């Protein structure tokens, strides 16, 4: 079958599906680019104001020294990347960053800690951060590694809005990227978060040397979760010297845009975030991502430990495109 001439019916616009097959997702990836963009943009409009972009700021509250071996990550203690292990930040320093993010237009403040899973004493401190950041009038998101049901409940009780835990890639390619925890571990943590009533932020990374089948597998898995993640970050690998993925062949930007568009079509009511990798992306590629249905970005000069476009550059780009921050 020629995927480029797929004539399968469009997904029902008023119905969220959780039974996406790989064949269906593959057919979407194989559509002619203009048709794919049209379908994605149509669903984007049906579910969101396409002129609005949700803006999040991400702060590393505990950097480096992580015992996991995610092959893309400069914070793993297993790779020599020059990132030093630091202690958990103090509450006042986190609040100062949150206030600055809010003053620059961010509506959500995301806090990331390089842990395999949080210890209970650390969770007490993170809960205090969540409570105080929320008191500033911002949404909160944390990413702390694997959680138990009890830990997820504690985060819910302190008012956490979102928990980020990415599937990263397809189940088949996953073992090439991480060996210290399994795909099922990730799905189990997502269950804990969902069961606790916290919104789920879950997506993946492309450009890690995976093939098209892996991008298909990743989107099909995300879109087949019992409830779609409310937030779906799609990251382009940021290559960091010292990590096993440094020197990887670069992904064609159109393949990245296609991944965004297919995520938008398969999870039409989710916020799709154009996440890491924007520093190396042209303005034109970013504009295509917005046309493909991306409606969130990370804002601020740093994403955990890697560079991100400065705020002025981002505001200038949003202005140029006639986009505005989501309230
Ligand atoms: S991605 Fe997270 S869990 Fe993996 S090595 Fe980096 S900090 Fe650790």
- The verdict on whether 70 is a catalytic residue reads yes
145 three-state secondary structure: coil
Q: Whose CA is nearest to atom 5 of ligand 1?
A: 76
Atom of ligand 1 lying closest to residue 116 CA: 3
Q: Which of 64, 74, 76 to mutate to test the pocket of ligand 1 (most atoms within 8 A of CB)?
A: 76
Tokens 């010297």 belong to which residue? Answer: 241
Q: What is the pLDDT of residues 53-98, one digit of tens each?
A: 988 888 999 999 999 999 999 999 999 898 989 999 999 999 999 9
Mean pLDDT, residues 148-170 taken together: 96
Alpha-carbon distance values, 223 to 39, 178, 193, 273, 317 (Å): 17, 22, 17, 15, 30
Given 192, 201, 266, 289, the catalytic residue? 201
Q: Which tens digits make up the pLDDT trace of 18-42? A: 999 999 999 999 999 999 999 999 9
Of 310 and 38, more confident: 38
Cα dihedral 164→170→175→177 (10° resolution):
-60
Least confident of 5-14, 117-126, 185-194, 282-291: 5-14
Residue 298 CA, ligand 1 centroid: distance in Å: 18
Compute CA distances 93 → 60, 113, 137, 258, whole Å.
11, 15, 17, 39
Distance 205 CA to ligand 1 centre (A): 13
Count of Cβ atoms closer than 10 Å to residue 175 Cβ: 11
pTM above 0.85, yes or no: yes
CA of 84 to the centre of ligand 1 (A): 14
Tokens of 251: 């992904």
Catalytic residue check, 73: yes
Report the pLDDT value the prediction gives residue 1, as an integer from 0 to 100: 33
Looking at residues 133-162, what average pLDDT do you find?
96
State mean pLDDT over 106-133: 94
Predicted local confidence at residue 298, as pLDDT: 81
Q: Please give the distance, rounded to the nearest whole angstrom, from the Cα atom of residue 173 to the centre of ligand 1.
A: 17
Q: Which of 26, 66, 194, 215 is catalytic?
A: 66
Among 26, 39, 110, 258, the one annotated catalytic: 110
Q: Which atom of ligand 1 is nearest to the CA of 68?
A: 5
66 annotated active-site: yes
Protein residues whose CB sits closer than 6 Å to any atom of ligand 1: 66, 68, 70, 73, 75-76, 114, 145
pLDDT score for 36: 98
């Amino acid at each position: 079958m020629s995927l480029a001439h797929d004539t399968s019916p469009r997904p029902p616009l008023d119905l969220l599906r959780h039974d996406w097959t790989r064949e269906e997702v593959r057919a979407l990836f194989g559509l002619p680019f203009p048709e794919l963009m049209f379908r994605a943009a149509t669903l984007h409009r049906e579910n969101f104001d396409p002129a609005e972009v949700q803006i999040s700021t991400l702060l590393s509250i505990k950097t480096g020294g992580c015992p996991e071996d995610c092959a893309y990550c400069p914070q793993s203690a297993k790779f020599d990347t020059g990132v030093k292990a630091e202690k958990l930040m103090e509450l006042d320093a986190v609040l100062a960053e949150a206030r600055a993010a809010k003053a620059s237009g961010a509506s959500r403040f995301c806090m990331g800690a390089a842990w395999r899973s949080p210890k209970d004493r650390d969770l007490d401190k993170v809960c205090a951060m969540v409570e105080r950041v929320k008191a500033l009038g911002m949404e909160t998101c944390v990413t702390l590694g694997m959680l138990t049901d009890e830990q997820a409940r504690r985060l819910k009780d302190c008012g956490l809005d979102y928990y980020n835990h990415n599937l990263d890639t397809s189940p088949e390619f996953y073992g090439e990227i991480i060996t210290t925890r399994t795909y099922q571990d990730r799905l189990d943590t997502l269950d804990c978060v969902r069961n606790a009533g916290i919104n789920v932020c879950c997506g993946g990374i492309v450009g890690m040397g995976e093939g098209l089948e892996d991008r298909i597998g990743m989107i099909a898995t995300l879109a087949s979760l019992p409830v779609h993640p409310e937030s779906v970050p799609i990251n382009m690998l940021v290559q960091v010297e010292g990590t096993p993925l440094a020197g990887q062949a670069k992904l064609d930007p159109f393949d990245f845009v296609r991944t965004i568009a297919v995520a938008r079509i398969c999870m039409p009511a989710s916020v799709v975030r154009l996440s890491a990798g924007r520093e190396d992306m042209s303005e034109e590629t970013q504009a295509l991502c917005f046309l493909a249905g991306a409606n969130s970005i990370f804002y601020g000069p740093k994403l955990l430990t890697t560079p991100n476009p400065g705020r002025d550059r981002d505001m200038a780009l949003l202005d140029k495109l006639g986009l505005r921050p989501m309230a």
